[in-house]
Amino acid sequence: MLNFLSLGLALCSSFATAVPLLHDPADVANVLTRRAAVDSCPGYTASNVVTTDTSLTADLTLAGDACNAYSDDIKDLKLVVEYQTDDRLHVKIYDADLQVFQVQEQVFPRPKHEKASAAKTALQFGIKESPFSFAVKRRDNGEILFDTGTVPLVFEKEYVRLRTKLPDNPNIYGLGEHSDSFRFHTDDYERVLLNAESPNIPTNANLYGSHPVYFDHRGDKGTHGVFMLNSSPMQIDIKKAQDGYQYLEYNTIGGVIDLYFMAGSKPADVSKQYADIAGYSAMYPYWTLGFHQCKYGYWDVNMVAEVVANYSTAGIPLEVMWTDIDYMNLREDFTTDPERFPLSKMRELVSTLHARDQRYILILDPGIHAVGNYPPYEKGHEMEVFLKAADGTDILGVQWPGEVAWPDWFAPNTQQWWTDQFLETFNPEDGIDFDGVWVDMNEASNFCHDHFCNPRQKAIDDNIPPKPTNAPRPNTGRPIPGFPASFQPGSSVDAEEVTSGAASVKRYLKTLVGRQTIGNDVAASASSPRASNSVSPRQSASGEMKGFPDRNWFAPDYQVNSHLGNVSRQTIYFNTTNYDGTWQYDTHNLHGHMMASTTHESMLARRPAVRPFVLTRSTFAGSGSKVAHWFGDNFSSWDHYRTSIRQMLSFVSMHQMPMVGSDVCGFNGNAEEKMCARWALLGAFQPFYRNHAELSTIHQEFYQWPLVAEAAKKAIEVRYKLLDYIYTALYYQTTDGTPMINPLFFLYPTDSNTFRIQEQWFYGDSLLISPVTNDNSDTVTFYLPDDLFYDYWTWSRVEGTGANVTVSNVAYTDIPVHIRGGSIIPHRVNSANTTKALRQEDFFILIAPDADGKAIGRLYLDDGESIEQPNVSEVTFSYENGKFSATGSFGFSSASNESVTVAKVVVLGQDKEGQVGTLDAGKKAVTVDGPWTMSGEFGFQI
């Protein structure tokens, strides 16, 4: 019997799954044969079951002859179950000999086992000993949340299978990163978690990040979450078995079963409980919520300056200017192009931006050019920070600068080496005093497609990096308002610097033909695969949860359906060992996460008192605790305009990464005016707001089209007025995990009409955003739950009836926004050109009472940048029976010309004059003029 102390479950056995896309009939037959073998695997028997009030342990032994479906079965396993908190259950199954890889504690710190009493916890664990299976259920309603009894557990050296039965037609979300529907299709759906270069973010494919956590929403029966702490490549199938039942199945090529169950039971509760596991989001500087601009292909530093000036001339606020790899000398990290981006002009650019209260961000890639006379590589080689082959030479690949070595983020000297480059290159005294950093290509993307590639030869054959062929553009010939004389027509950069820079380029170009790397045998080691049993001389790979040393590195027999092909394709080869003795086979999905985390620490070393801002392309579970993310190299299309909403919903509400957004107007392909106008509006209601385009595309800065410029002005104006509301929502996600972006079912969990909605969202918990999503349309149909709302733009009262509403004639400069009844929203009275100027504007408080005449809201204030915040305000606003009050803490006082004054309070839904205030009969709103200073409690009765 499967024992919940007294629970019995009916168990059945069935197996059904799709065959990968194969062309050779022999390959198809081989796959079918192996999967039939899986179906006949014996499973395990549990013994030595020991239970306590807070835990359960057992031994698991293979129950029969090994099936060896994809690799060798592991005979002896261990089971550990921990009731960690009242709402969290931990279930772990691992090999008794501790050889199978487990994610390092330093990479993903484990949540504390708080030893909750099993007699009181929200979740209960049940075990069946022979054949072994387990189930998890809710205590309060008996709902079975996870049931592994349908097929046997398979645990092999290169394959692990675990299946759970699901309800029919389940509501499953999460499992990022993907561009698929927000609520998954469930009849025949596959999610692959294998971080990969993914141009144009294809659907039904693995993308840049791996977040193996899903939310299972069951309406009035509650919402729960399941997190699998496993970084090995995996495929998660959500399908129907041959006999009709619905299931979710993990298929991994390595690692252990390490599951965390989150009880919820409300959707946002699961988000908070996941934050307890994966880490709470970093708090970002206030200015990062401003509008950002970038393009790959800005020719020189003057063009960068001109874009900044053009935004000012167009009257469109620009907070942050970015520069892609264009600024580098032959695309090498920690350099500047001496002709187009000379250091003196770069420093002048940054100082000018700072004087204008604007910010600057630059890009870095993980591939370090593996040539002599390049100090970052020479120093890194000396400090042994690069991934090594068995003979001790540096493993090479190809990225933007040509043949590159890859930092080993597990090596003990890597953090210091990386930080040293930051302190030297990006220091305020004689370097580029940037404000944030962007790490890209860190899946890691490798232009060498497979292990037979010779990186040196490929770089030569493909002309990587391309050689400079044109003289630098001296100037546009147009004045650049707001910038120094050196940026104006007729000026030139410092002649000595140009001469010196040109000489350095000539010296470098001489090394491109017949150049020698520091490691004598590095080219040979990079042009042929390492022996499958070779181990780096750094640390032993036997035992100690390092992973087996004799696996099929490049094409495991279980084929994870990566859109790139074999798992080791276009990345660091999976037979590469890390410093600690683990293998890229298991740690591949951690590479970008670790690069970003290392960069976060380097930014802290550079400015210890200031919150870092690091944007990364590749992520893993927990990345949000330190860094932000954009959704990668999307396309300038209506489809990807819509996709950005689905991606945002998953990352913010389910993966605890609130500072996310897409490349507004699209990265690849030429943007179209009407689409870009819509996207400018949509992006303003997402957390991270950046316009970015690819090298070969037309320019798509917001000022390029009159219609887009008009839409952007409106979008940024309202975004900036709401910035303190947004900043407050961000703050609370960083402190208690409350999502700053909410899918509709998070706020209306029993309304089944909301479960599939993926093109509307709540910004915070008060503003319902319903953009036009049809191509070239001025009509939108959106859902209004059975609740009271107010039109944000007109303040008119709108009764939601739990039905769709269609609105036509929505201009390309408009976006429907509604205020949820019961909300109080802080605003700035006016917008501004920069966030620093914005913070000088007074507040106004907008009250939108619910049907009972009540409303609540909150406001968080701090200095916007410091890590330590001794003086903050956390203000709670409330409204009931005509009485408005502001209570809480009021530690943040007016400083540096920043306003803490409330100029007015507006109460919506009013039809008569009160004791105080002025009635606008047309808008049915009462305005009560202040001022009140938020230095203590205040309020009034209307």
Rounded to whole angstroms, how far apart are CA atoms 292 and 296? 14
> Does residue 293 contact residue 318 with C-beta atoms inside 8 Å?
yes
- Using CA atoms of 248, 252, 257, 259 in order, give the dihedral in degrees to the nearest 10: -50
For tokens 């002025």, name the residue: 918
CA distances from 716 to 20, 256, 838, 844 (A): 46, 47, 12, 18
List all residues 6 or more positions away from 869 whose beta carbon is below 8 Å from its beta carbon.
862, 863
Tokens of 102: 């487990």
One-letter amino acid at 266 equals K
List all residues 6 or more positions away from 181 whose beta carbon is below 8 Å from its beta carbon.
646, 758
> Does residue 607 contact residue 599 with C-beta atoms inside 8 Å?
no
Half-sphere exposure of 881 (CA within 13 A, CB side): 0
One-letter amino acid at 510 equals K
One-letter amino acid at 872 equals V
841: annotated active-site residue: no
Rounded to whole angstroms, how far apart are CA atoms 624 and 740? 13
Shortest CA distance to 733 belongs to which of 645, 661, 657, 651?
657
Rounded to whole angstroms, how far apart are CA atoms 684 and 9? 50
> Does residue 150 contact residue 166 with C-beta atoms inside 8 Å?
no
The backbone region for 63, taken as left when phi is positive above 0, alpha when psi lies in -120 to 50, beta otherwise, is: alpha
> Does residue 435 contact residue 365 with C-beta atoms inside 8 Å?
no
Spot the catalytic one: 269, 440, 580, 759.
440
443: annotated active-site residue: yes
Helix (H, G, I), strand (E, B) or coil at 677: helix
Helices (H) and strands (E) in the chain, counts: 17, 48
Helix (H, G, I), strand (E, B) or coil at 838: helix
| Bond preceding residue 931 cis, omega within 30 of 0 | yes
One-letter amino acid at 626 equals K
* DSSP state letters, 396-438: EEEETTEEEE-B-TTSTTHHHHHHHHHHHHS-TTTS---SEEE
Q: Across 774-900, where does the E strand assignment appear?
A: 780-784, 788-791, 797-799, 803-807, 817-820, 823-828, 843-848, 854-861, 873-880, 883-890
Which one-letter DSSP state was computed for residue 625? G
Q: What are phi and psi of 932, to 5 degrees?
A: -125, 140
Scanning 228-300, the segments in alpha helix (DSSP H) are 267-278
Q: What are phi and psi of 855, to 5 degrees?
A: -160, 150
Element (H, E) at 44: strand 44-51
Half-sphere exposure of 123 (CA within 13 A, CB side): 32
Strand arrangement, sheet containing 133-138: 2-3, 123-128, 133-138, 144-147
> Does residue 397 contact residue 459 with C-beta atoms inside 8 Å?
no
Spot the catalytic one: 443, 787, 814, 841.
443
Strand arrangement, sheet containing 843-848: 918-920, 925-933, 901-908, 843-848, 823-828, 854-861, 873-880, 883-890, 938-941
Q: What are phi and psi of 137, to 5 degrees?
A: -135, 160
Tokens of 699: 């320019």
Which one-letter DSSP state was computed for residue 698? P
CA distances from 310 to 155, 193, 314, 480, 701 (A): 60, 42, 6, 8, 9
Burial class (CB in 10 A: 0-12, 13-18, 19+), 413: middle
Spot the catalytic one: 365, 633, 814, 862.
633
DSSP bridge pairs for 583: 577
Supply the residues annotated as catalytic: 440, 443, 633
